[in-house]
Amino acid sequence: MTTHADLNEFSFLADDARDQGAEAPAAARVQLELPDGRALSAIRYGSGTPNTVFLHGAGLNAHTWDRTVIDLGAPALSLDLPGHGDSSWRTDADYAPETIAPDIIRAIEEWASAPITLVGQSLGGLTAAHVASARPDLVSDLILVDIVPGIGSGGPSQLSAFYARLEFESVDDVLDHALAFGLGGSRDKALRGVLLNTRTREDGVVEWKHHLAHVLSEKTEVPRLRDHHDTDWDALRRVAQPITLIAGSRGYLGDDDLAAFAAAQPEARIVTVDATHNVQETAHRDIADLVRSTRPERT
């Protein structure tokens, strides 16, 4: 039986790098204590101070960018958003982009070489827009991955059934649950995501590491995600830096979404790639190439 005690969180990097015909980067877990006592966690890849920072989507964690960082071949920082991965949960369960953006700003100030290229997927993309708008001195370029304001702002209702179960007897129990919902592909491929996105409590119960499982579940009293549609559009319109929107051909964005984005940011670049919403899972090389194009010295 697979357990978290057996897990080295970086054990998958070598296999990924081999599959991608590259060398695995050095990787280390770093942690920042926040003024209110919470902690923000991140992975620092490579040597030297990174000038590329990655923000993942809701329910994911910093490791979702492993393959992109390998393709990039340059120092990078990938954050666990508040309430995700090894970062602390918020007691108010408020994970609206404008609420968590100040934590990301502190992380960039602490760990990165500004101004940076900031890359955000889904919830991370909306958060990145708030960061770029509030602190243009920290961000030179903004890359949004398959997200514009208004998409999923009320919470993906289709996930409520999946998160009806929040506690499991074992990692294999979580795997059975995920595969029953058609998530993760084969059992071997799903194991990585389950291991990196769950933890074993002291009582032996396995639970999701991200707080959004509780926020999205109808089985808890945790406050639901609030609508942040208007504030996200306001932030996006205020961004003055160059913006690239990467749309997955099988992702969340339709023609109306792309038109609304173009109206808000007429000078922005829109690139469509063959991918689902989690573009970084399959089109990681496309993302790396676009990141590299923002700064030729990354070649």
> How far is C-alpha 281 from the chain's CA centre?
11
Could you tell me if 85 and 59 are in contact, meaning their C-beta atoms sit under 8 angstroms apart? Answer: no
Where are the chain's structural domains?
Answer: 4-152+227-298
Phi, psi of 179 (to 5 degrees): -70, -30
> Mind listing the pLDDT tens digit for each residue in 3-48?
887 789 999 999 999 999 999 999 999 999 999 999 999 999 999 9
Confidence of residue 155 (pLDDT cuts 50, 70, 90): very low
Better pLDDT: 182 or 213? 213
CA pair distance 82, 62, nearest whole angstrom = 11
Confidence band of 299 (pLDDT split at 50, 70, 90): low
pLDDT at 154: 41
Q: What is the pLDDT of residues 275-293, one digit of tens each?
A: 989 999 889 999 999 999 9
Q: Which of 15-29, 179-193, 218-232, 283-297 tops mean pLDDT?
A: 15-29
Looking at 3.40.50.1820, 3.30.70.1450, 3.90.420.10, 3.30.70.1350, the CATH number of the domain 4-152+227-298 comes to 3.40.50.1820
The band of 152, judged by pLDDT with boundaries at 50, 70 and 90, is low
